[in-house]
Amino acid sequence: MKKKIIEHLIIGLGIGFIVTTACLWAFRLDEASGAEVMRQFTTWLAASACYGLISLIYDGDISFPLSLAIHFTGCVAITFIASYISGIMNFMKLYEWFIYVLPVFIIIYIIIGIAVTVTTKYQEKIINKKMKTKLSNKSEK
């Protein structure tokens, strides 16, 4: 179980590093001081680790739709908390978070979901091909 937790943390951090860097460049880097950028960067990397941890829900025996709903809701909550800690909420009212931050989150969530699904399907295809080759080699002997 420890190995799975560490694996999910690393995956979350890896994805989060890319997304955080891109978002800081796109939305905030030119306006912020070094200390502010570091606070935001650190906050979003910690949030990314939490996203990775909450992805453990998919390893359980819960149905996929319920797992997805729990994962999405948890990720929205993590995003809201990280927005508050990183200082984004200092610049906007609560309703503005739903107008500006939540749609960006949903777009990123969908893109990552599609990328993970495509990658998983590709890996399954390769594994199945290797297994088929091994089985056919065994039956020939």
- Condensed to tens digits (0 to 9), the pLDDT of residues 30-50 reads 566 767 777 788 888 899 999
Q: What's the pLDDT tens digit per position in 104-122?
A: 999 999 999 999 899 999 9
Cα separation, 81 vs 50, in Å, equals 11
**C-alpha closest to that of 53 among 71, 76, 33:** 71
Long-range CB pairs of 38-41, under 8 A, 24+ apart, other chains included: 39/86, 39/87, 40/86, 40/87, 40/88
Contact call for residues 82 and 43 (beta carbons, < 8 A) = yes
Q: pLDDT (tens digit, 0 to 9) for every residue of the chain, 141 residues total?
A: 788 888 888 888 888 888 877 777 776 655 667 677 777 888 888 999 999 999 999 988 999 999 999 999 999 999 999 999 988 888 788 899 999 999 999 999 999 999 989 999 999 999 998 888 877 777 766
pTM here is: 0.74
